[in-house]
Amino acid sequence: MADRPPPSAAAIAIGTAIVSGLMGYYIGQAQSIGVFGGSQKSPATLSGVSRAKGKDEAEDEDEDDDDDDGEEEEEEESIEGLKSFDGNTEECKMVFVVRTDLGMTKGKIAAQCSHATLACYKTLLRTGGNNPTTIHPILRRWERLGQAKIALKCDGGEDDLLVLQAQAVSLGLCAQVIHDAGRTQIAAGSATVLGIGPGPRSVVDGVTGHLKLL
């Protein structure tokens, strides 16, 4: 029988590559099941890593969020002096006086007005003390009649905002100024929005009736 020719260099290279690949695959499988003493991470460990990664990603998203919860500091005033406006049967409303000189984006303004809503609402709730059934009559009327909310412009800066707050307080209205923490668009401590009310329409208009809609 005739002798076979020796394998070519290309055939040797291909065979070597195939053998090496198979050996690497089986060695990797053996390591994954602990044949060589390697420690395999338990499902609990793996899930812990996933949770940690998810937490980090969530924190990054929170840092990018323009108006994260708690970014604005609410200035709560005393509930003393708030009137119940006995005998008044007008529709009640809440207004937000927004500073336009700060150049806040629409999203920023929306978040600031939300903080003002909560600040005013919590202030009126506190008039009932620890009794949840004792609710300020104006707050009760406002909730029952649709919770009207109006956004208005303030072009004069923080001084004008504070003057309006003083006027509202002198009339027995709830008036809360929101101060920004300064983590995103504007300087820390900036007064951004004045929330007034809810209160009878004519009383609130006596303070903000001259302002234009936002």
Strands 191-200 vs 175-180: parallel, antiparallel or unpaired: antiparallel
Question: What confidence score (pLDDT) does residue 127 get?
Answer: 85
Residues with Cβ within 8 Å of 183's Cβ and at least 6 positions away in sequence, in order, are 68, 71
- In one-letter notation, the amino acid at residue 207 is V
Summarised one tens digit per residue, pLDDT across range 80-117 is 789 999 999 999 999 999 999 999 999 999 999 999 99
Question: What confidence score (pLDDT) does residue 122 get?
Answer: 93
The DSSP bridge partners found for residue 176 are: 195
Calpha distance 80→207 (Å, rounded): 19
Structure tokens at 36: 């060589």
Q: What band does 49 get if pLDDT is binned at 50, 70 and 90?
A: very low
Highest mean pLDDT of the ranges 74-83, 104-113, 121-130: 104-113
Calpha distance 132→94 (Å, rounded): 22
> Stretch 23-50: mean pLDDT, rounded?
52
Above 90 in pLDDT, residue 134?
A: no
Nearest of 6, 28, 192 to residue 99 by alpha carbon: 192
Domains within the chain, CATH numbers bracketed: 94-209 (3.40.1490.10)
Structure tokens at 191: 């007064």
**Cis amide linkage into residue 198, ω under 30° from 0:** yes
Which is more confidently placed, 160 or 70?
A: 160
> Stretch 150-165: mean pLDDT, rounded?
96
Helix, strand, or coil (residue 153): strand
Question: What confidence score (pLDDT) does residue 90 get?
Answer: 95
Eight-state DSSP code of residue 36: T
Residue for token digits 């009137």?
Answer: 83
For the entire predicted model, the pTM comes to 0.65
> Stretch 40-46: mean pLDDT, rounded?
44
Lowest mean pLDDT among 4-8, 80-84, 107-111, 134-138: 4-8
Above 90 in pLDDT, residue 178?
A: yes
- In one-letter notation, the amino acid at residue 17 is A
Average pLDDT, the chain: 78
Eight-state DSSP code of residue 105: -
Highest mean pLDDT of the ranges 6-10, 130-134, 208-212: 208-212
Calpha distance 187→183 (Å, rounded): 8
Calpha distance 148→150 (Å, rounded): 7
Secondary structure in 3-state letters for 165-201: HHHHHHCCCCEEEEEECCCCCCCCCCEEEEEEEEEEH
Q: Positive or negative, the Cα torsion across 119, 161, 136, 201?
A: negative
Above 50 in pLDDT, residue 202?
A: yes
